[in-house]
Amino acid sequence: MALENLSLGWQILSAVLLVIGGGFALVGAIGMLRFPDFFMRLHAPTKASTLGLGGVLLASVAAKWAQGNYGLHELLITLFIFITAPVSANLMSKAAFHLRVPSQAATPPDQPRP
């Protein structure tokens, strides 16, 4: 069954999820280009892009459900991305912290605030 044969409600739901996912991915990409240091750049793709990919995969799940399939592959991909993105970001930030990568934060994390 082609996607053109889906009912209007499923098409609108898929389109809305694709636009939301694309918006989050765009915000993540812009943040990665605009933020000044490594730690701030790490925040943009792990948060916004993960939500963007989640929106695109949920649109795919909605299209599969409308066709009568369960969309198990898309759900597994979404679960894998939501588990691995924060773990990889945590490991990269710990490595950068131990290597003393410079940050443009107001105060370094190892010094007390006044």
The tens digit of pLDDT for each residue in 88-100 reads 888 988 999 899 8
Tell me: the pLDDT tens digits for 26-55? 998 898 888 888 888 888 878 787 888 888
What pLDDT does residue 41 have?
A: 85
Give this prediction's pTM. 0.75
pLDDT in tens, 63-91: 888 888 887 888 888 888 888 888 888 89
Spatial distance between the Cα atoms of 38 and 10, rounded to a whole number of angstroms: 40
Q: Confirm if 77 and 60 have CB atoms less than 8 A apart.
A: no
Sign of CA dihedral 86, 92, 93, 98: positive
